[in-house]
Copies of this chain bind each other. A is one copy, B any other.
Amino acid sequence: MSDQTKYVLQESEMPTQWYNIQNDFATPLPPVIHPGTGQPIGPADLAPLFPMELIMQEASVGPYATSYVDIPEEVQEAYKLWRPTPLIRARRLEKALGTPAHIYFKYEGVSPSGSHKPNTAVPQAYYNKKEGTKRITTETGAGQWGSALAFACQLYDIECKVYMVAISYRQKPYRRFLMETYGAQVVSSPSPDNPIGQKFLAQDPEHTGSLGLAISEAVADAAPREDTKYSLGSVLNHVLMHQTIIGQEALKQMEMAGEYPDIVVGCAGGGSNFAGIALPFVREKMKSGKNTRIIAAEPTAAPSLTKGVYTYDFGDTGQIIPLVKMYTLGSSFIPAPIHAGGLRYHGMAPIVCKLYDEGLIEAVAVGQNAVFESNVLFAREEGILPAPEPGHAIRVVIQEAMKAKEEGVKKTILFNLCGHGHFDLAGYDAYMRGQLQDFEYPREEVEKAISMLPKVEMAS
């Protein structure tokens, strides 16, 4: 164990492979189901939306039926604009808590758009470019994913159109300006640009929009056009695989520090940043018998793992995209407007759900006042201002560090600080003025929402 604060890898030490956990599963993921036919969907069903290499990665087939997938050299080059990211030991936080625990965090906020999102935006843009895509559409809530994709498209000279939820478009212009600076076209959703948006605008010209609606518009824009594909920033298997660069680096850096984590924590909304840090450690747990606790920290306002039901549901609120088996609160559920917009999702990545179902990972739900309390403490001790999303992880880390203190045992804790909070200061202000609300989502409500799901008959 060294006495350093930061563990930095040289570029030459950056891992050159992603980890594909699907290949190590004893049983495959439950199939994705076409809502019309009840049949598992195949590559042809996805081809209008995604390039073939990403579809093969999604299904873990062809050259991707392997546990480690080579990162293309062009993607490695682009990663080096900000990667490897630092592993930092939170020594001042440890001291402030008076805990014997050692707390390490991987800091993804150093990326161009300020979060882990470019880890998948860049390869998605790259594979699209390779297959001739000229234009990519996507949706964004507050703009974190949209700005990552805008940046990635710019790298490969691809047009980018972002459907931004209307209320954020109006109230949070800064991330829109960032997307525009990166060269993307940003429209408020519902938009006058396609029939779906037009329909909603006709009903209400001041419609505030929703993420589900923005997905519908982005998909409807891309599907019929030969030169246009669609891109999603979380949930999907290939997205999670791209994010494993985080955990792959962390494995090396923990070794530099001369420690191995007893506990790994990440916040979970769609599941991509949690999976990014967790999957390589899940592998060690499965293959090398390491006894690591791996914890997903989710908001009490959208507690899909801790209060949801493991069943087939739609990935979008509009219920137009295929059904996946996941822990869900019901696709009709609109989570309360917490500041951690990136965690306001009714479901969870199927890979994360399978691990939870099999008991390989745990989950804890956290309220937003507790999140901001932890974030303020973290900022004052460590300097970095965390986004509200990773604040959920920080809260759980502090709880575990205090438990270690009570029990008088030294624990090594690692978490993913997936982004900075420079665009979230209004949330900090609301917290400090005592104006933040906590939201609970009762189990009865979940059951009601689940019971309202259309019954899907699975052909088998």
Interface residues of A (CB under 8 A from B): 4-6, 8, 10-12, 77, 80-82, 88, 92, 110-114, 118, 151, 154-155, 173-174, 177-178, 180-183, 376, 379-380, 382-385, 422-423, 425-426, 428-429, 432
Contact = CB atoms under 8 A, between A and B. Distances in A.
The secondary-structure label for the interface of chain A is helix
A429 B155 CA distance: 21
B80 A6 contact: yes
B425 A380 contact: no
A114 B422 contact: yes
B181 A376 contact: yes
Contacts of A180: 428-429, 432
Contacts of A429: 173, 177, 180
Nearest to A380: B154
A199 to B, nearest CB: 30
Contacts of A384: 112
Q: Which of A5, A181, A385 has the most CB of B within 10 A?
A: A181
A425 B385 contact: no
A112 B380 CA distance: 10
Contacts of A81: 5, 88, 92, 382-383
A349 to B, nearest CB: 26
Nearest to A384: B112
A101 B151 CA distance: 25
Contact of A182 (B92, B112, B155, B379): B379
Contact of A422 (B80, B423, B426): B423
A392 to B, nearest CB: 18
A233 to B, nearest CB: 17
Given A10-B8, A180-B432, A425 B379 contact: no
B425 A5 contact: no
A181 B379 contact: yes
Total identical chains: 2
Contacts of A4: 10-12, 80
A380 B182 contact: yes
Contacts of A426: 174, 177
B382 A428 contact: no
Contacts of A82: 383
Nearest to A372: B181
A75 to B, nearest CB: 13
A77 B4 CA distance: 9
Contact of A380 (B5, B110, B183): B183
Contacts of A383: 81-82, 111-113, 118, 151
A385 B426 CA distance: 21
A178 B425 contact: yes
12 contacts: A4-B10, A5-B11, A5-B81, A6-B11, A92-B155, A110-B110, A173-B429, A177-B428, A177-B432, A181-B376, A183-B380, A422-B422
A328 B456 CA distance: 76
10 nearest interchain CB pairs? A112-B383, A177-B425, A422-B422, A177-B429, A5-B80, A174-B425, A81-B383, A154-B380, A181-B428, A8-B8
Contacts of A114: 422
A255 B189 CA distance: 51
A422 B229 CA distance: 29
A154 to B, nearest CB: 5
A82 B107 CA distance: 11
A4 B81 CA distance: 10
Contacts of A380: 154, 181-183
A429 B118 CA distance: 23
Contacts of A6: 11, 80
A29 B215 CA distance: 64
Given A6-B80, A177-B425, A181-B425, 8 more contacts: A4-B12, A8-B10, A82-B383, A112-B379, A177-B428, A177-B429, A181-B379, A181-B432
A92 B112 CA distance: 14
Contacts of A432: 177, 180-181
A97 B92 CA distance: 44
Contacts of A425: 173-174, 177-178, 181
